[in-house]
Copies of this chain bind each other. A is one copy, B any other.
Amino acid sequence: MAAFSFNKLVIFGVGLIGGSLARALRERAGATGEVVGVGRSAKSVERALELGVVDTAAILDDDRSLESALRGADIVLIAAPVAQTEPLLRRIAPFLDPRTIVTDAGSTKGDVILAARAALGNRVSQFVPGHPIAGRESSGVDAALSDLYADRNVVLCPLPENLPESVERVAAMWLATGASVHRMTPELHDSVLASVSHLPHVLSFALVEQILEAPDAALKFAFAAGGFRDFTRIAASSPEMWRDVCLANRTALLAQIDAYTNVLARFRAAIDASDGAALEAAFTRSRTARTEWKQGGALKPTDDSAIR
Contacts and interface: CB of A to CB of B under 8 A. Distances in A.
Nearest to A306: B222
B200 A242 contact: no
A197 B224 CA distance: 7
A234 B230 CA distance: 8
A103 interface: no
A236 B237 CA distance: 23
Nearest to A222: B299
Contacts of A265: 261
A205 B261 CA distance: 13
Contacts of A258: 268
Contact of A268 (B237, B244, B257, B268): B257
A231 B218 contact: no
The number of times this chain is found in the oligomer is: 2
Interface string A126-153: 0000000111100000000000000011
A260 B222 contact: no
Contacts of A256: 210
A286 interface: yes
A263 B231 contact: no
Contact of A233 (B136, B224, B230): B230
Contact of A235 (B226, B263, B286): B286
A258 B265 CA distance: 9
B227 A234 contact: yes
Interface in A238-266: 238-240, 242-244, 246-247, 250, 253-254, 256-261, 263-265
A185 interface: no
A134 B227 contact: no
A238 B286 CA distance: 10
A307 interface: no
A210 B260 contact: yes
Contacts of A192: 216, 219-220, 223
Nearest to A137: B226
A195 interface: yes
B267 A202 contact: yes
**Considering residues A205, A261, A295, which has the most beta carbons from chain B within 10 angstroms of its beta carbon?**
A205
Contacts of A284: 239
Shortest Cβ-Cβ A-B pairs, 8 listed: A239-B283, A208-B286, A196-B224, A200-B231, A243-B280, A230-B233, A236-B290, A239-B284
